[in-house]
Structure 1
Amino acid sequence: MESEKYRKKAMRIESQLLGKLAVMGQTKFAKLMGLTDTKVCRMKEGFFAQAALALAILEYGVDDHEIVELAKRFAAVLTNKKATAGTVTSSQMLIEF
């Protein structure tokens, strides 16, 4: 029963780690770690799960407040659209032909 508690927490931590990796970008992460992109890609298959389980067992996790902040930043990246030509104070003209 106790191991299930750790596994649930580990899955949450792994999700957070992979989310942060996605926000940062795999290439930037690889460069900062001194690894290749392909090595980081392979790490996503097992390393992050093992690291997350170790962090869960050691009672080291990411604060829920941090999860909310990460979700907001990730949503902002996903919804980032090219700005329209008009500004807030100006109005755009519609020209029909």
Structure 2
Amino acid sequence: MENARYRKKAMRIETQLLGKLAVFGQAKFAKFMGVHESQVSRMKEDFISKASMMLAILEYGVDDTEIVELARRFAAVLTNKKAPAATEADSQITINF
């Protein structure tokens, strides 16, 4: 039962990491890491899922509000709609990559 909980949390972490990588850009990420872009592509196949499981087991937290905001950004990109502007009465969530 506990293993299933870790797997579920690991999947959420992996989704978040891959989403951030997609937004940041694979080529740009590879440049900052000092590796070739193909190595980042290989990391997505195996390393990120293992690292995600490790983080889940070590109780690394995933902030649900970040996932929701990331999903909104993806939806805006896919539908070519601009995100609503933040007003003084509204609070905007910022995700730093």
Matched, 1:56 2:26: no
Question: In the alignment, residue 25 of structure 1 is paired with which amino acid?
Answer: G
Q: Which runs of 5+ in 1 are unaligned?
A: 82-97
Amino-acid identity (%): 73
Q: Secondary structure at the match of 1:20?
A: helix
- What is the rounded CA distance, in whole Å, between the counterparts of 1:16 and 1:34 in structure 2? 22
- What is the rounded CA distance, in whole Å, between the counterparts of 1:20 and 1:8 in structure 2? 19
Structure number with greater Rg is: 1
Matched, 1:5 2:5: yes
- What is the rounded CA distance, in whole Å, between the counterparts of 1:52 and 1:64 in structure 2? 16
- What is the rounded CA distance, in whole Å, between the counterparts of 1:58 and 1:8 in structure 2? 14
Name segments (4+ residues, structure 1) moved above 4 Å: none
Question: In the alignment, residue 39 of structure 1 is paired with which amino acid?
Answer: Q
So what's the TM-score if we normalise by structure 1? 0.77
> How far off its partner does 1:73 sit?
1.6
